Copies of this chain bind each other. A is one copy, B any other.
Amino acid sequence: MSTEAVKVGLLGVGTVGGGVLKTIRLQQQKLSERLGRPVEIVKALVRDPGKKRTVELDHDLITTRFEEVLKSDVDIVVEVMGGVEPAYEYVRALIEKGCHIVTANKELLARHGTELIQLANRHQVQLAYEASVAGGIPILGVLRQFLRTNDISSVSGILNGTTNFILTQMEQAKLPYHEALKQAQELGYAEADPSSDVEGWDALYKSYILAQLVFGEALPLNQARRRGIDSLHLGQLTLAHELGYRIKLLAQATKAEGGVQLSVSPTLLPLDHPLAQVQGADNAVQVSGNIVGDLLFMGKGAGELPTASAVVEDLAYLLTQRFSPHPLWRERQGNHGVGKEGTWSFVYLESTGLQGTPEQILHFLNLGGVSIAKQRIQYDWANVLRIGVIARGFTDEHRAALQRDFGIQTDVFPVISRGEEQDILGAKGREVDGKEIHFGY
């Protein structure tokens, strides 16, 4: 075996790229023992060569021209620049040159993973992407392992730290959405343009990758159910909490009869549900397997070093394995699975006009065949009426009628129940309980 160094190229020296450099330096000895040869960074691509960085980097290594990376004879390239273009073009060119790729770029994979995997297989290079989902939580590796002895039926979780931080702030400090977002931006948890996070795209990319890994297929991104947190009110969080739930941005990939379902949505979780305990910028992933049962993995889903840890582990693993083709990904039209019969939803009603009493409104729903398990009613100082109900059988017709007859705006969110709880609610059928009415807000 040669003792020539492994030549590594970096695309990007930002948060994650800087962490990768630090980790490689910190663990240089462990790494070279494991690989039988040292690891050397030979080229690093950036946009602005003059930028001050948190890691020292020899000036000769830095370049702004991708061609220099391409011709510097690298064995493996770490893509941590982000975005789809030009990352896609660069990664293609590197694969075609026979270079292995480690990437943390979930958007790139969710948009072009199917092609990149085919290309990598054709050129017999490896493509590794543990860091793209849930940062330092080694979820892809663990899932690959479970798949060997289990049939996995669902993978769900809190996959976006930014939105979980915002929701935690809203709930704990009673902040409206925009103030919590501003705070997240000031603290560096959210970017100047937060749309990918708050609109649910980032979480969707990750659950797309999880679905491909676990089920070998996923819905095209534009067919998945995606709702972000950008239209959530504090009033919804508060009512949900009073009903015994916490609203989290839940990403789910589930195998169902009609195919794989993908969804990202603010979702009500019972307060004692393990995913409801995930606070701040942490991530958590829950896996259900037929043999192993339910498992939960929790940790830092982002950040310089946790993410770098996953990148460097991929890099080392990949260099110690022989090539074997990556299982193909495929996209398939699927079942949205919206509004499954018999599932409970959180129906949030809000009205400023007060055309009708809460009792009339609830009576109307009952007459219209909506089952109600729990309800909470609030008036605030500005005479806004808010009703939160855990309901079953609520349809678009009810929504239209409420708007027409009572001037009520409606919003509906999915509810996750733990087995037992679902049964209790289910058994109650159309009965109405918990009639407390709270005045003041």
CB within 8 Å of B: which residues of A? 23, 26-27, 30-31, 34, 136-138, 141-142, 145-146, 148-150, 272, 274, 277, 279, 289-300, 303, 305-306, 308-310, 312-313, 316
Contacts and interface: CB of A to CB of B under 8 A. Distances in A.
29 contacts: A23-B149, A23-B291, A27-B149, A27-B150, A27-B291, A30-B149, A136-B293, A141-B145, A146-B309, A146-B313, A148-B316, A149-B312, A149-B313, A272-B277, A272-B279, A289-B309, A291-B312, A292-B299, A292-B300, A292-B309, A293-B300, A293-B303, A293-B305, A294-B299, A295-B300, A296-B298, A296-B299, A297-B297, A297-B298
A292 B309 CA distance: 6
Nearest to A147: B30
Contacts of A148: 30, 34, 313, 316
A143 to B, nearest CB: 10
A298 B274 contact: yes
Nearest to A34: B148
Contact of A138 (B142, B306, B316): B142
Nearest to A299: B295
Contacts of A277: 272, 274, 277
Contact of A149 (B149, B150, B296, B316): B316
A310 B150 CA distance: 10
Contact of A142 (B26, B142, B279): B142
Copies in the complex: 2
Nearest to A294: B299
A290 B309 CA distance: 9
Contacts of A313: 145-146, 148-149
A293 B300 CA distance: 7
B306 A293 contact: yes
- Closest 9 pairs (CB-CB, A-B): A295-B299, A291-B309, A296-B298, A136-B292, A292-B309, A293-B300, A291-B305, A149-B313, A149-B312
A34 B149 CA distance: 10
Contacts of A308: 291
Given A34-B148, A149-B312, A292 B305 contact: yes
* Residue from A149, A305, A310 having most chain B Cβ neighbours under 10 A: A149
A23 B289 CA distance: 12
B137 A295 contact: yes
A310 B295 CA distance: 13
Given A277-B277, A298-B298, A26 B309 contact: no
Nearest to A19: B291
A336 B312 CA distance: 35
A149 B290 CA distance: 31
A418 to B, nearest CB: 11
A216 B146 CA distance: 27
A298 B308 CA distance: 24
Contacts of A274: 277, 298
Contacts of A303: 293
Nearest to A305: B291
A294 B306 CA distance: 9
Contacts of A138: 142, 145-146
A274 B148 CA distance: 29
Given A30-B149, A31-B149, A292-B310, 18 more contacts: A23-B149, A27-B149, A27-B150, A138-B145, A142-B142, A146-B309, A148-B313, A149-B313, A149-B316, A150-B309, A272-B277, A291-B305, A291-B306, A291-B312, A292-B300, A293-B303, A293-B306, A295-B298
A326 B409 CA distance: 65
Contact of A292 (B31, B272, B291, B306): B306
Contacts of A34: 148
